[in-house]
Structure 1
Amino acid sequence: MDIVIAGGHGQIALRLSRLLAARGDTVRSIIRDPGHAGDVGDTGARPVVCDLESADAAEVAGHLTGADAVVFAAGAGPGSGAARKDTVDRAASVLTADAAERAGVRGFLQISAMGAGEPPAPGRGEAWEAYIRAKGAAEDDLRRRDALDWLILRPGRLTDDPGTGLVRLEEPPIGRGAVTRDDVAAVIAALLGARDVRRRTLDLLNGGTPIADAVASLRRPGGQEV
């Protein structure tokens, strides 16, 4: 497969590109900072410098041409204010989805967050509220797109513990909990290969089911669901 990762220097994205490259996929990773090209290249991915906060859909579409799927892994990150939660976590996702449609790329997997689409929990602060609203709006935008075979993945609290290979992967809600970044990347790699699992919103936690079995349980005769 030919995969483009938007937000290619993120912690999950770097793990994912390493997994995909190791299994023989072609990986292009979109990054904003040219200084991150070395880290991306070390994973086996080809770095593509493009600022998703300033580019237009035509420019981004040029970077997506020929891909089988796009993974939107970009995020404003810790320490960013409410404004960048909107310009990255929402607007850049919308831009990338527009570009995928222009480029004729149907596969689109978005890394979202548990709680997206719900009222933000009180007391978490302005930036958190903006983040959850931005993720919810980006999800809503994807669900309206008939030209994309979208998939929304909502990991729980992320940790840097070693991957377990054991998860709980189901339609929400499944409760709160943690999941390793290693396991998130491995689940995404498996989902990209399961092309009949699309147009679904999925929560992800560490659990007791091997990743291959968890993905296989989502597959339905006849393919996609709406």
Structure 2
Amino acid sequence: MAKVIIIGGHGKIAQLATPLLIEAGHTVTSIIRKPEQEDRIKELGATPQVFDVETATQDDFAGVLADHDAVVWAAGAGGGNPDRTYAVDRDAAIASIDAAQGAGAMRYIMISYLGSSLDHGVPEDHAFYPYAQSKALADEHLMDSDLDWTILGPGALTDDEPFGMIRRLGRQTDEELGEDESRDTSRGNVAQAIVAALGADASIRTIVDFVDGDTRIEEVFGG
């Protein structure tokens, strides 16, 4: 079992994943931004650690990642502010990847989004561009690293009740999904995918794009 650290531990997916990881036998440290979030993290069974990823350096990240086996990147700026998006979704993510290698936290699970790629085609003047570009650059940096990485690319996130079934897609998501096909992906299913990926060596160095579907999550990840 692994000592897991979740970056962005107060987010919806992270809160759903935390008790699942603990139930699977892992220990969890949860990085949060605000002291008032500590009680919630403790309720979930994890150890909270207040840490500002937006301003953190690689050395700062190395300090918090030390003595952990696995990293789950679940942080995000939340959109609306391009500078903050670049600072969190690109710069902080890249710093954490480099720090993880130095700290020996070699298993790294990145929560990205469906079809993330430098060929995203989003115009530079579009509001989504900073996020699309940041996530793609972070994903590319992770793939170029020596880490045992898995990139999860869920579709449009919902708060629907999870049912443990997804549909794995290839990289050409726009071609695979027609205009009338749902891109809905339960955050609860993403949380289950994190646990499944962490427990499946077959998922190392793979990109798993997916939406809610009809295949057991464990089966998708080789379980």
Common topology (TM > 0.5): yes
The alpha-carbon deviation at position 169 of structure 1 amounts to 2.4
Q: How does 1:149-168 map to 2 (within 5 A)?
A: 149-168=148-167
1:71–1:110 Cα contact (<8 Å) kept: yes
Aligned residue for 2:220? 214
Alpha-carbon deviations, 1:81-120, whole Å to 9, x = none?
1111111111111011111011011111110112321334
1:185 partnered with 2:191: yes
The 10-residue stretch of structure 1 (89-98 or 62-71) with the greater mean CA deviation from structure 2:
62-71
CA offset at residue 200 of structure 1? 1.2
- Give the conservation status (yes or no) of the 8 Å contact 1:60–1:99: yes
Q: Which amino acid aligns with 2:98?
A: D
Equivalent residue letter for 1:148: L
Asked whether the equivalents of residues 157 and 178 of structure 1 are also in contact (C-alpha less than 8 Å), the reply is yes
Consecutive unaligned residues of structure 1, counting only runs of 5 or more, are 218-226
Deviations 1:172-203 (Å, cap 9, x if unpaired)?
A: 23445111000000011010011232111110
Contact 1:171-1:200 within 8 A present in 2 as well? no
1:28–1:45 CA contact under 8 A, matched in 2: yes
TM-score (norm 2): 0.90
Letter of the 1:165 partner, please give it: G
Corresponding residue number in structure 2 for 1:12: 13
Which residue is equivalent to 2:23?
22
Task: State the match for 2:120 in structure 1.
Answer: 119
Between the aligned partners of 1:179 and 1:125, the Cα distance in structure 2 is 28
Note the residue ranges of structure 2 that are not aligned, 5 or more in a row.
Answer: 178-182
How far apart, in 1, do the equivalents of 2:214 and 2:4 lie?
29
Distance 2:120 2:70 in 1: 31
Counterpart Cα distance in 2 of 1:75 and 1:53: 10
Report the Cα distance in structure 1 between the residues aligned to 2:49 and 2:125, rounded to whole angstroms: 34
Q: In the TM superposition, what whole-angstrom CA distance separates every residue of 1:30-69 from its partner, at most 9, and x where no partner exists?
A: 1111121112111111111111111222222121122121
* Equivalent position SS for 1:76: coil
Take 2:190 and 2:74, find their aligned partners in 1: how far apart are those partners? 11
Return closer, same or farther for 1:127/1:38 CA change in 2, 3 Å cut-off. farther
Q: Match for 1:188: what amino acid?
A: I
What count of residue pairs does the alignment treat as equivalent?
214
Residue equivalent to 1:76: 77
- Kept in 1, the 8 Å contact 2:20–2:192? The answer is yes
- How far apart are residue 208 of structure 1 and its match? 0.6
Matched residue type, 1:159: T
Question: Partner of 1:148 in structure 2?
Answer: 147
Whole-Å Cα distance in 2 between the matches of residues 210 and 168 of structure 1?
A: 9
Kindly tell me: are residues 81 and 126 of structure 1, through their superposed partners in 2, closer, same or farther at Cα, counting changes over 3 Å? farther
Q: Is the 8 A contact 1:162 1:182 kept in 2?
A: yes
- TM-score calculated relative to the size of structure 1: 0.89
Q: Is the 8 A contact 1:4 1:67 kept in 2?
A: yes
Q: Is the contact made by 1:120 and 1:132 (CA closer than 8 Å) also made in structure 2?
A: no
Distance 1:37 1:125 in 2: 38
Kept after mapping to 2: 8 A contact 1:180/1:206: yes
Distance 1:171 1:2 in 2: 31
